[in-house]
């Protein structure tokens, strides 16, 4: 191993001469470890995040019967109050409130937007669309509703616009090149430090919990930037190349053996980031509940979930996550899997049973159902929503959340299930 060039300069200095001779005698792995430690000592590299999956230290969790609102179209806080009253009367006990906004997103109707991108809470770390979270919490709490702040991680568009170099990297199989992604790089130390500060500010507000947006994943070609390369090399002794990870068969991308080690390692990084954010938030507000969105494939096809999203839901439940929110969106599943409606309902029941089997208590599982059509944004018919709730309930008693848009769904099916 040839030492770095700087060790060959100024040989007249006794310390550098000794340093150079010592490094020349070291084996490659020892040389790498000592160099990394030296760089951390002088501040060139941050210390690595701690090992993930620290067990949660809380007792049983309360059952969530929730509403996740993508957009409140209420034109005033008074109108918002009436909407919260309707939810509470239907049996809702938890509100999942969107506290971030990217380009293309609409602002909640009851605020006067100060900017097109940013967050809905007071912070110096991001543009503030409106400082609304505290007031929303007060209104919800007055009605007996808990509030989970629904917050992004990788899709902080305001930061990416200002610091595009913090975007992640992925392999583009068409161009056969490594290119930038649309989300933040979860391996970049500046990204992690930024998110820690942002989530600490979020925790200053009177929320009851946090729901991580479904962007807290690494897709199957993501995770190939310089920071990931350096950390992977330190861990396994060699770098990452598309040729090590992917092959081609009949014109399609296939996964090599190294890909699966990489996928597990990416999942570990996601869990480390989760732990870091929980620790930062706990310094401002202890006792928050933490919920993680899980893709339906990660339940029914865990190997594919690991490959496609770097998700391992069983491992997440062994860590500090309190709730696992399964995105059991039946119309999306029908479309993506080309399933008939009745088979989709049976699929939901089976998915629920499988998810319950992952947790030591079924209330740590929250099944999220769609109550609107993604394409038209129209609320679903009451009969359809009732059938979806029944299918999920056939799999066992879990937490429940209906995801709605600007227009509320028919609340009779919600009431019949939530008040049972």
Per-residue pLDDT of the chain (420 residues; tens, 9 = 90+): 333 333 333 333 343 344 344 444 444 434 433 443 333 333 334 444 555 545 656 678 999 999 999 999 999 999 999 999 999 999 999 999 999 999 999 999 999 999 999 999 999 999 999 999 999 999 999 999 999 999 999 999 999 999 999 999 999 999 999 999 999 999 999 999 999 999 999 999 999 999 999 999 999 999 999 999 999 999 999 999 999 999 999 889 999 999 999 999 999 999 999 999 999 999 999 999 999 999 999 999 999 999 999 999 999 999 999 999 999 999 999 999 999 999 999 999 999 999 999 999 999 999 999 999 999 999 999 999 999 999 999 999 999 999 999 999 999 999 999 998
Within this chain, do residues 376 and 227 fall inside the same structural domain, yes or no?
yes
CATH code of the domain in which 156 resides:
3.20.20.80
Whether 55 maps to a domain, the answer reads no
- What pLDDT is recorded for position 57? 62
Would you state the pLDDT for residue 251?
84
According to DSSP H, which parts of 96-241 are helical? 133-142, 157-162, 189-202, 226-236
The two tokens of residue 340 are 């008939």
Considering the domain architecture, whether residues 183 and 298 belong to the same structural domain is answered as yes
pLDDT of residue 62: 97
Domain presence at residue 356: yes
Residue 51, in any domain of the structure? no
pLDDT attached to residue 129: 98
Tokens of 409: 């769904």
DSSP state, 372?
B
Structure tokens at 237: 């002794």
Do 359 and 391 fall within a single domain? yes
Q: What pLDDT, on the 0 to 100 scale, is given for residue 12?
A: 37
Same domain, 144 and 170: yes
Residues 6+ apart with CB under 8 A from 18: none
Confirm if 387 and 342 have CB atoms less than 8 A apart.
no
Q: Do 3 and 146 lie in a common domain?
A: no
Range 35-70 burial, b when 16+ CB lie within 10 A, else e: bbeeeeeeeebeeebeebbbebeeeebebbbbbbbb
239 occurs within a structural domain: yes
Q: Are both 10 and 149 inside the same structural domain?
A: no
CA-based torsion, 108, 112, 115, 119: positive or negative: negative
Residues 186 and 280 in one domain: yes
Residue 265 near residue 253, CB atoms below 8 Å: no
- Report CA torsion sign: 224, 228, 123, 79: positive
In this structure, are 289 and 154 located in the same domain?
A: yes
Q: Is 371 a member of any domain?
A: yes
Pairwise CA distance, residues 147 & 207, whole Å: 5
Number of domains in the chain: 2
* Domain membership of residue 345 as a residue range: 63-418
């Amino acid at each position: 191993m040839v030492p770095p060039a700087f060790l060959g300069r100024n040989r007249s200095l006794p310390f550098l001469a000794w340093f150079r001779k010592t490094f020349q005698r070291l084996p490659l792995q020892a040389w790498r470890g000592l160099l990394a430690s030296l760089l951390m000592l002088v501040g060139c590299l941050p210390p690595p995040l701690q090992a993930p999956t620290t067990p949660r230290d809380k007792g049983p969790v309360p059952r969530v019967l929730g509403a996740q609102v993508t957009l409140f179209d209420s034109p005033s806080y008074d109108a918002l109050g009436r909407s919260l009253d309707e939810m509470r009367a239907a049996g809702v006990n938890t509100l999942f409130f969107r506290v971030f906004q990217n380009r293309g997103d609409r602002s909640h109707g009851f605020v006067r937007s100060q900017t097109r991108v940013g967050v809905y809470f007071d912070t110096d770390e991001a543009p503030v669309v409106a400082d609304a979270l505290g007031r929303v919490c007060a209104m919800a709490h007055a009605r007996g509703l808990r509030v989970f702040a629904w917050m992004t991680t990788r899709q902080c568009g305001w930061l990416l616009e200002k610091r595009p170099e913090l975007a992640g990297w992925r392999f583009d199989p068409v161009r056969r090149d490594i290119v930038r992604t649309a989300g933040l790089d979860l391996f970049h130390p500046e990204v992690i430090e930024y998110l820690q500060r942002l989530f600490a500010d979020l925790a200053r507000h009177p929320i009851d919990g946090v729901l991580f947006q479904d962007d807290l994943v690494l897709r199957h070609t993501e995770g190939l930037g310089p920071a990931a390369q350096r950390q992977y090399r330190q861990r396994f002794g060699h770098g990452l190349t598309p040729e090590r990870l992917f092959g081609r068969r009949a014109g399609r991308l296939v996964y090599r053996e190294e890909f699966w080690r990489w996928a597990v390692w990416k999942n570990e990084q996601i869990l480390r980031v989760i732990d870091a954010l929980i620790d930062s938030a706990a310094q401002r507000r202890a006792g928050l509940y933490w919920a993680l969105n899980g893709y339906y494939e990660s339940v029914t096809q865990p190997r594919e979930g690991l490959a496609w999203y770097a998700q391992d839901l069983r491992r997440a439940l062994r860590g500090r996550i309190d709730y696992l929110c399964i995105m059991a969106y039946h119309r999306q599943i029908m479309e993506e899997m080309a399933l008939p409606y009745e088979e989709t309902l049976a699929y939901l029941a089976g998915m629920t049973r499988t998810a319950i089997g992952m947790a030591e208590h079924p209330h740590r599982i929250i099944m999220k159902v769609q109550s609107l059509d993604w394409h038209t944004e129209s609320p679903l018919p009451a009969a359809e929503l009732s059938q979806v709730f029944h299918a999920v309930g056939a799999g066992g008693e879990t937490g429940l959340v209906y995801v709605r848009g600007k227009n509320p769904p028919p609340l009779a099916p919600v009431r019949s299930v939530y008040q049972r």
